[in-house]
Amino acid sequence: MSERAVTITGMGLVTSVGNSADAVMSAMCEGRSGLSAPPRGHPLSGSLEVAGFGPPIDPTTVLPAPETRVVDRYVVMALQAARDAMSDAGLEVGRDVDPFRIAVIVSGTGGLATLESQVVTRTERGRLGVSPYLLPGMLPNMGAARIAITYGIRGYSSSIGTACAAGAQSIGEATRLVRSGEADVVVCGCSEAPLFPTLADTFNNARALARGWAHDPAGASRPFDRRRNGLVLGEGAGIFVLESVEHADARGAAGYADVAGWGATNDAYHPTAPDPKGTAASECIRRALADAGITPRDVGYLNAHGTSTKLGDAAEAVAIRSAFGADAPPVSSTKAITGHMLGASGVAESAVTVLALRRGLLPPTQNLDDPDPACDLDHIRKAPRPARITHAVSNSFGFGGHNISLVYGQPSTRLTRDG
């Protein structure tokens, strides 16, 4: 049995610059940042100078009121993004797809803020103060589980724990399921809610966060720029609906783009630092291109992992140059406006990559005023760049050396989305 083509029919996002792919793309093109100082009275005041805060969401809009007593924000954001993605795809389980032929792979770090608050409660009130709803509120698989419960998804279900690569890997593994015929449709993505004091403090103490930008929060995340001095934490969620082109055509669904290929490797170098030689990251890109059956010359745009860290950006630039050689495509990074949404970044950045492909408009990296010579690439700066392209790549790299590259191509469905 030959592998089936896989297309994206629905996208849902929650970010600091808006709750749609179009909002994120517009923010990149217009230079509209989602980064800000913590609001007055916020628990992060004193822990962070700047972050990418998502919108407030009433949990009762996505869950029955009795079930919202201890539900972490990451679950709520996952459910909102899933609701928008399912609506965008025009998909109803049972009507459009057999409940056992649809899968869900939704990842995330889990509800660490909820766990921390319950530890404090136990310290203050004793063991009887701990909520019996703690586990369903904070386990990392609960984004996937709650989506399955909400929509009656009874097929394969999983959650991936590859740190900042988890969202992109969820898309890759979903592609594998559809290609193999194990599922006709997969709801996939990631949700992350890292904006609470303890996690902020550990990033601060590791000197991983941007410093000295309290006067200019919008300028704090500056991937590939000589003045970059750390990442900016952000929160958010991204959910895609993937399905076989055959299934999409049968129900009259339009595709945004095909997932043409993907690659996965591990640096096997260090728990947190990237390999400065970019050996495994470049191999990851090569594998993705080979899986898509294309050459470096066929890629017209690359959305970089681009975290705004000294080591990370330089290592990624080395990997890109190594993988593409003289045919390296134009590059930009979404994290300049959203901050680093950990695993959810890979889904939001894939959405931007898809819209760039469909619109023939490549978004710039904001704040890239003085490109670092160590990050010598064809950077898109200042303004969007028009370009008619057939394929685009999105990179996601995570702590532990996890590397994921996704290749997107023009949709092969009979009906297509303008994006």
Give the pLDDT confidence of 5-30 residue by residue, as tens digits. Answer: 999 999 999 999 999 999 999 999 99
DSSP string, 198-220: HHHHHHHHTT-B--S-TT-GGGS
Q: Which of 309, 382, 411 is nearest to 11 (CA)?
A: 411
Is 305 part of the annotated catalytic residue set? yes
The total of structural domains in the chain comes to 1
CB 261 within 8 Å of CB 296: no
Q: Which of 354, 396, 399, 380 is nearest to 170 (CA)?
A: 396
The pLDDT of residue 109 is: 96
Buried/exposed code over 307-331 (b: 16+ C-beta within 10 A; e: otherwise): bbbebbbbbbbbbbbbbbeeebbbb
Say if 163 falls within a structural domain: yes
Is 391 part of the annotated catalytic residue set? no
User: If you average pLDDT over every residue of the chain, what do you get?
Assistant: 96
Would you place residue 3 in the very low, low, confident or very high pLDDT band (cuts 50, 70, 90)?
confident
Q: What is the mean pLDDT of residues 295-316?
A: 98
Say if 326 falls within a structural domain: yes
CB 49 within 8 Å of CB 211: yes
The CA distance from 287 to 325, in Å, is 15
Choosing from 164, 188, 190, 375, which is the catalytic residue? 164
Q: Indicate whether 100 pLDDT > 70.
A: yes
Say if 14 falls within a structural domain: yes
Q: What are phi and psi of 78, to 5 degrees?
A: -60, -45
Is 42 part of the annotated catalytic residue set? no
Say if 278 falls within a structural domain: yes
CB 343 within 8 Å of CB 107: yes
Q: Indicate whether 203 pLDDT > 90.
A: yes
What distance, in Å, lies between the first and last C-alpha atoms of the chain?
32
Say if 1 falls within a structural domain: no
> Which residue intervals of 126-262 are DSSP H helices?
134-138, 142-151, 166-180, 197-205, 245-251
The CA distance from 294 to 243, in Å, is 22
Q: How do residues 116-151 score in pLDDT, each as one tens digit?
A: 999 999 999 999 999 999 999 899 999 999 999 999
**CATH code, domain with 357:** 3.40.47.10
Identify the domain containing residue 358 by its residue range: 7-419
The CA distance from 211 to 200, in Å, is 13
Kindly give the pairing relationship between strand 157-158 and strand 102-107. parallel
Choosing from 247, 284, 340, 379, which is the catalytic residue? 340
Q: How do residues 286-300 score in pLDDT, each as one tens digit?
A: 999 999 999 999 999
Q: What is the mean pLDDT of residues 70-83?
A: 96
Say if 57 falls within a structural domain: yes
> Strands (DSSP E) along 230-386, which ranges?
236-244, 254-255, 257-266, 299-303, 330-332, 361-362, 378-379, 385-386
Say if 328 falls within a structural domain: yes
The pLDDT of residue 69 is: 84
The pLDDT of residue 419 is: 66
Say if 2 falls within a structural domain: no
Question: pTM for this structure?
Answer: 0.97
Q: What are phi and psi of 319, to 5 degrees?
A: -65, -40
419 vs 131, more confident = 131
Choosing from 247, 305, 391, 402, which is the catalytic residue? 305
